[in-house]
């Protein structure tokens, strides 16, 4: 059985679409509602490392704590940025998906297709109607 974990925010359309793409591959993932159950420091640092991205690139910029804390200034160390993400989980961009094939920040949601071990089992369209996967389970090219 394939093990997949998604750090999910059900209020986010991109996160909901990503979750449904995982389910469309026939897998019910472990869903972590990270706003309610945020990752610990070691887990968050490992996720960032596994994604191969900078700490800053995981920051959500369009949320209140970002402006209030002045995080747009490039004066914070990675450790300080991680501290803020742990203190204000809303600052963690999402969804983050962990599969046996890798860990990615899935924005846009179809990025998850690059790391899903199992093929899509049918057509899939995003909530806004954009087709992502056709009836044969193949990615729709834009």
pLDDT of residue 1: 62
Domains 1-34+94-142 and 40-90 fall in the same CATH topology: yes
pLDDT of residue 142: 65
Confidence of residue 15 (pLDDT cuts 50, 70, 90): very high
CB 116 within 8 A of CB 104: no
As its CATH architecture, domain 40-90 has 3-Layer(aba) Sandwich (3.40)
Q: Is 106 part of the annotated catalytic residue set?
A: no
pLDDT digits (tens, 9 = 90+) for 36-81: 999 999 999 999 999 999 999 999 999 999 999 999 998 999 999 9
Instruction: Say what the pTM is.
Output: 0.95
pLDDT of 2 over the 90 cut: no
As its CATH architecture, domain 1-34+94-142 has 3-Layer(aba) Sandwich (3.40)
Sign of the CA dihedral 9, 20, 141, 139?
positive
Domain boundary assignment for the chain:
1-34+94-142, 40-90
Round to whole Å and give the CA distance between 60 and 77.
16
pLDDT of residue 89: 97
Q: Which of 6, 12, 44, 133 is catalytic?
A: 12
Q: Averaged over 4-23, what is the pLDDT?
A: 97
The pLDDT > 70 percentage for the chain reads: 99
């Amino acid at each position: 059985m394939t093990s997949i974990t998604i750090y999910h925010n059900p209020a986010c359309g991109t996160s909901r679409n990503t979750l449904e793409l995982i389910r469309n591959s026939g897998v019910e993932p472990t869903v972590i509602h990270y706003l309610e159950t945020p990752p610990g420091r070691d887990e968050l640092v490992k996720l960032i490392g596994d994604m191969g991205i900078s700490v800053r690139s995981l920051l959500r910029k369009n949320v209140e704590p970002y402006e209030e804390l002045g995080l747009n200034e490039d004066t914070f160390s990675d450790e300080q940025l991680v501290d803020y993400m742990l203190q204000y989980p809303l600052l963690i961009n999402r969804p983050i998906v962990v599969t046996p094939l890798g860990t990615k920040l899935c924005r846009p949601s179809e990025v998850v297709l690059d790391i899903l071990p199992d093929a899509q089992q049918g057509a899939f369209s995003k909530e806004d109607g954009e087709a992502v996967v056709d009836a044969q389970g193949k990615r729709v090219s834009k």
